[in-house]
Structure 1
Amino acid sequence: MLFKDQVDFVRQHLKRNRLRVFTTVLATTMGCAFLIVLASIGFGLQGSMEREILTDEAVTEIQVYEDGQNKTNVDAIRKMENVRAVIPKTNAELMANVKFENRTNSVNVSMTDFKEEEKVGRKLSEGRLPQNSNEIIVGYHFAENLLSKADMKEQEKLNEKASENDSPVSEQEKKFGYKESLVGKTISVKLQTYESEKPINKELTFKVVGVTEKPAREWDVKNLILFSNDLKSDFYNIYKSSVKGSKDVKPEENIFYTELKVHATNLEAVKGVIAKLKEQGLSVYSITEQLDEINVIFLAFKVGLIFVGTIAVLIASIGIFNTMTMAVTERTREIGVMKAIGASPKLIQRLFLMESAWIGIIGTVIAIVISYGISFLSNWLLPIIIDMATDSNQFQEADIVFSHIPWQLILVASVISIGVALLSGWRPARKATKIDVIQALRQE
């Protein structure tokens, strides 16, 4: 019998028992769709969490921590393969009291190497990176925190109101701060130690040449100034001159704390650079390590969901087994005739396996289409429903994906569904090959 004839033979028998085949296909569809949709939750939440992490920090950035005893060889790290830049970022136990026009602001003193920042392509919302020590860049929210005395009174009133209503101050209510661009403007700065209540008298002037990019998260407030690392010794001398007794002067290492930010050339090179840094006895941290931990957790989560979904497919396989068993019983005489005219047991077994496979394939295809529809609707409706229930817009603004169906999931679900269908039809197919010809022909 030709393959085309075998297909026609199977199709005719499926048409003959449409209702029974329909209910069996429906059960297979529901089981497979349940498997895909359930597992897609794991893929969707994992993707959302990864995007949240990757937009929060530079993925090629590696933080290097010094042990305080051995000085890190920065030049040696810069010469490493796949290292694009090494940025020493310095934080100081000093405050910068800023004055601009009739407005003031206070921020912690932070310094960086702008030449190395340029190598990694630091993004700014406006302006450029500083080219000398008299130029600075300010944080995205620095201007709105430049307050006049009237602004401070207004801010205090809003904070009291928010405290009474137990709700945060909305952006619409914030009508204070400097509203124009600070790029090109000159500001005055006076340093102040944490122990002192008054700033040091010496006044410094800096030109604002850039503003950092907008943070990925709305609650992340960037109220800061980035000075050049070249000012480290100048700031320390200003601090020393403000201390009355020489015995009270803290050493430079107690005033300034420097951490290294090593940037790899690309994401794939991060693990190699981390390994080389650890070989030198350095303590390091990279966002990729956090992603690895998340991937392990979600892998176990997805395997669990697929296991639960597979149980639904196995339950559906009972229907396929019953359908094929009844088909063998009803067509005993037909099987006897086929054997009498020379059909081999392998051919008979193949015909029944083709029927069960056909049921599995149709059910799987329909399940895939339904799963994509459910995935689309859940990603669209769930954020709206949750925000309505919680009276907020957090989920819609966060752009969380609740369900994602990658092609790998479709492949795994299809193999499981069709494989279970074939296994369900194998036993009845084997039973069909063992039917006695004479007894089969005697049946009416």
Structure 2
Amino acid sequence: MSVDVGVPESLIPADEVRRLAAVRRYAVLDTPPDGAFDRVAALAARMLDVPIATVTIVDTDRVWFKAKQGLGEDVTEIGRDPGLCASAILHSQPYLVTDALTDPRTVGNPLVHGELGIRFYAAAPITTPDGYRLGTVNVLDTRPRQMDEQGLATLADLAAVVMDELELRLAAMTTVRLERESRLRAEADQQRLQVINATLQRALLPPRLPQIEGLAAAAYYHTASTEHVGGDFYDLFALGDRRWGFFLGDVCGKGADAAALTSLTRYTLRAAATYDPDPVSVLANLNTVLLQEYVHDTPRYCTTLFGMATLTSSGLELTLAGGGHPPALIIRAAGMVEWLHPEGGDLVGLFPDASFAVAPARLAPGDALLLYTDGLTEARVAGGSLFGDERLQHVAAGLAGAPADQIIAALQDLLTGFGPGLADDTALLALSVPPSTP
């Protein structure tokens, strides 16, 4: 089916009707400036060393700028034809023009010959989980230049970050709308509200952990109450060059406030790591964002561990930074258990001059790393005492040599056994290096 929008047929995707429906679904067009998307444009310009960077949404007959760097404040949109962004959304991979004056795709483009004088253009599509390309993250220059695979991959990562944020906001908007309706239905809609909260909780956590050659990963999340969205979070994501970022933490509060803080925290950690994967720098960036976001409100803070893992031929090199969070556990294949504790890290989001500690470690084949929130150690066992660090260390020693999924399964059984003694949300994340093949 075609759509008559005054745009050449060659610039209209075959699924244009459904694509435009997806654009409307995210309700992002003509919304006010937003710091989260502005940071993506700023990161793109800084990381790829270009004077102009934009986050755009391609509408029926226009390209609308959600965020921009290096363009005037009065520039809010351009026509869909002449077709740079309109051409980019026809492709599932990054779109690159190294010299627009010689490239047959752009040699006649008015943006090339006009006041802007664009000579270089690269874009990565912002693609929904169901495959529709809403728009692009773009970088532009007034001189011809090259971009290597790493630069294109960075652009694609930033486009994925934009899509993650749109997904989180869509889930939050859906939840807020349905919660408002549920208040009018009172007890008749209580079960519906619980389902909505469970859906939002899933939206705040990765739907699945990535499959990584040479590294096993598993996670588990327990929400203490069916009436509230939990405040614990975790993630594992690629940084390129066999490097992986991972984090786990706990935000203050419950319900919608905790969900908003979790969304901001998870997005900021991933975006900061894309720009500079140094764990201390990542936590410092999050600290700054939380202080700025809640400057006029009650302080909102979190505890977290953020690590960078590098796969080598002999195992996994780790750098772990801590912000007021319980230490991680290293479970050695030989049966020893070690605490990995970046000592002295402050809570994240409370102090402008917060400091964050860092600790290095190495996992050999057969070793594993366990991150957890304090719902585990503060659970009550028979008799009313806390489960505590010592019991956790003893349980971990019995899991020596086990892969990540078996460690998480054993701890999940342990949490179930606590019954009513498990009163807080609990998140678990395990990484393990497969044993060497004889």
Which TM-score band (shorter chain)?
A: under 0.3
Q: With a CA cutoff of 8 Å and minimum separation of 6, indicate the structure with the bigger relative contact order.
A: 1
What's the TM-score once normalised by structure 2's chain length? 0.22
What's the TM-score once normalised by structure 1's chain length? 0.22
**Structure with more strand by fraction:** 2
**Structure with more helix by fraction:** 1
